[in-house]
Amino acid sequence: MRLFRRTPLGGTRWVAIDCETSGLNMARDRLLSVGAVAVHGGRIDLSQSFHAFVQQEVASAPENILIHGIGGDAQRQGRPLVQVIEGLAGFIGEALPVGFHAPFDAAILRRHGLRLRGDWLDLARVAPALFPGRAQSTGALEDWLGAFDIPVHARHDALGDAFSTAQLLLVVLAEANRQRLQTVEALYKAERAGRWLARN
């Protein structure tokens, strides 16, 4: 999506995305499932969501299955990778991708063949920039959901976490508007500021 400097936040279609993987190594571990939820016009569009398990020749380790709950049969009976990636790309379309710790999801999906035009928005960086000191503890997704009394739906389930991410995105967009950050460019600048703060 080619964005212009004054593209309004409210007129942008966003897609919150979450991946479940066989581990936390972006360069090596496999994509097991992906979930995505669309946000547009200041609301979550429940009629627009995407969820798929990726077919595996060999199931991930038992300790990994305990985290995401995707059993061996579900992994082996998933959809072929190329179908999942094509379906996800079609669902995202020209929308802007959003994630919590987005570099991880972006790297996993890119390594498995997804090519997107738009830059990812990382809520793990923009939320602290807009709400300094609001979420304490680990700064994990659960902390931010708890800070705004957002109920947790099926944690470590790709679609459940994508829905939670979409809910947090609504909070971020509302705060961005309150702070008069009303364009896509302004929000990405806030995210870059959050990234800079995290390094210092």
Of 54, 138, 126, 61, which is closest to residue 96 (Cα–Cα)?
126
Whole-angstrom Cα Rg for the chain: 17
pLDDT in the model for residue 118 = 84
Q: Residue 67: is its pLDDT beyond 80?
A: no
pLDDT of 20 reads: 93
> Residue 189: which pLDDT band, with cuts at 50, 70 and 90?
very high
Higher pLDDT, 59 or 93: 93
Residue 174 to residue 165: CA distance in whole angstroms: 14
Taking residue 58's Cβ as centre, other Cβ atoms within 10 Å add up to 10
Tell the burial category of 47 from Cβ atoms under 10 Å away from its Cβ (0-12, 13-18, 19+).
exposed
Encoding tokens for residue 197?
């703060």
Percent helix / strand / coil, the chain, rounded to 5 = 45, 20, 35
Domains and CATH numbers, the chain: 9-199 (3.30.420.10)
pLDDT above 70: percentage of residues in the chain:
91
